[in-house]
Amino acid sequence: MNEKFWRLVDFLIENNDFYSKILKKVCVKSGDYSEIPFLTRKDIYEFGLSGTKSLVSKNLKIGYIFSTGGTTGKPKYVAYTFDEFELVSFYLSKCYDGIVESDVVANLFMAGNMWASFISVNRALEKLRCTILPISGTTSIELIKNYLGYFRPNCVVGIPTQIIQVVSEKTNFLNKVYYGGESFLENQIKFLMSIGCKIIKSGGYASVDADIIAYQCDMLDFNQHHIFTEHQFVEIIDIENGIVLNEKEKIGEVVVTNLDRYLCPIIRYRTGDLAKWVDPKCSCGRPTIELMGRFDDWIRLASYDFYYQDFAKALYPFQISLKINRSKSLVTILIENNDECKKMSESEIIEKLKLVNWQLKEGIEENMLKVEVQYVKQLPMTNKKINVIYE
Ligand SMILES: [Zn+2]
């Protein structure tokens, strides 16, 4: 761990009730960073601004308070000083560095509701000196289309589900798309390219609690990101036992330590994102991760590990859900009634699955895992989102 981290530790011992106890015990005595317990989402609820507040440092002025909860459940809050927030927009602007002064950019991130994304991205765009259309994804689809048609921006930034609803053959003035929050599907990327988008890039890997973690240089593959090592210390840990994984290509959970957050410290925070260390093609010389989806997408059945993505890849471009029956070690693939897909037999689908993940292959061949296919009228949904995995 670097000097920047130990400076943060010194501050927290003096000014943070939650961390002073932990850090005095662990770091000061042994100097061993890896003994610091992981911070969980539950801790942020219980000890952050929505709970006892012991996780919020004293003697610092709160600039912004953001809500970081999802659309369901109790929201949790995280606070930034203005200097901390300024730094977030600085790193974000690095993620968007393909945007130049002559670009006209529509900001379609979600504004309002105490969310951080819209205003931090807007601030990052200001630094790039481009022309900004602060539309927001909360505006009605029809109005967004009107604004786009009238101002004809060449660049759009936002979340994929939002972007895909407003682009069409008519928006052929768009040539750059930067997205965050989730990934585009492969067929959506093909569509964007077909209507003239030349740059389709991740606007960085971030978590609302931990802020910006990594960026994508032009050479990196889809879902690969370089770590902002001066801002975040990243570990990948084994999902089961929490042991730090340093080997390349081993999938685990992303754990981050933000070296610049003093007000609401983020130390060894379990993000719930799955990733693996990879060797990038480029010469940037930065540690690089490939994101593999959310922790919730991971399935362990009969001691075999596999992911929703394995199935999505094998059945691309069809939309699917997975129903897991643990007592029978059975995975049922639900496919929305699709005649094209029906041309693929169940055994063909299973052969494809065996190619994407060796654990699935072994499990199926050893008869420890069973996979079946079912066609349904509609995939199971909650809050307009497909339940990708359920039991
Ligand atoms: Zn690079």
Give, as one character, the DSSP assignment of residue 230: T
Q: Which fold has domain 97-202?
A: Rossmann fold (3.40.50)
Domain boundaries, the chain: 3-85+205-295, 97-202, 302-390
What is the reported pLDDT for 15? Answer: 97
Give the distance (Å) from ligand 1 centre to CA of residue 108: 27
Give the distance (Å) from ligand 1 centre to CA of residue 275: 17
Give the distance (Å) from ligand 1 centre to CA of residue 56: 35
Q: Domain 3-85+205-295 belongs to what architecture?
A: 3-Layer(aba) Sandwich (3.40)
What is the reported pLDDT for 73? Answer: 57
Q: Tell me how far apart the alpha carbons of residues 185 and 293 are, in angstroms, rounded to a whole number.
A: 12
Specify whether the CB–CB gap between 40 and 270 falls below 8 A: yes
Give the distance (Å) from ligand 1 centre to CA of residue 203: 14
CATH number of 302-390: 3.30.300
> Nearest Cα to 106, choosing from 121, 85, 95, 92?
121
Using a 10 angstrom Cβ sphere, with 0-12 exposed, 13-18 middle and 19 or more buried, the burial of residue 270 is buried
Specify whether the CB–CB gap between 181 and 159 falls below 8 A: yes
Distances (CA, A) of 199 to 148, 158, 193, 295: 18, 14, 9, 29
Per-residue pLDDT of the chain (391 residues; tens, 9 = 90+): 788 999 999 999 999 999 998 988 876 656 678 889 999 988 998 999 989 999 999 999 999 999 886 544 567 899 999 999 999 999 999 999 899 999 999 999 999 989 999 999 999 999 999 999 999 999 999 999 999 999 999 999 999 888 998 999 999 999 999 999 877 877 788 899 999 999 999 999 998 799 999 999 999 988 899 999 999 999 999 988 899 999 998 989 999 999 999 999 999 999 989 999 999 999 999 999 999 877 777 788 888 888 888 898 888 778 889 999 988 999 999 998 777 777 788 899 999 999 988 889 999 999 999 999 999 888 887 755 677 888 8
User: Could you tell me the pTM of the whole model?
Assistant: 0.80
Give the distance (Å) from ligand 1 centre to CA of residue 216: 7
Give the distance (Å) from ligand 1 centre to CA of residue 229: 13
Give the distance (Å) from ligand 1 centre to CA of residue 226: 7
Indicate if 97-202 has the same CATH topology as 3-85+205-295. Answer: yes
Distances (CA, A) of 339 to 106, 177, 334, 380: 38, 32, 14, 19
Angle at 72 between CA 66 and CA 76, to 5 degrees: 30
Q: Which structure tokens are listed for 229?
A: 């090592």
Give the distance (Å) from ligand 1 centre to CA of residue 60: 36
Neighbour tally for 49: CB within 10 Å? 20
What is the reported pLDDT for 66? Answer: 93
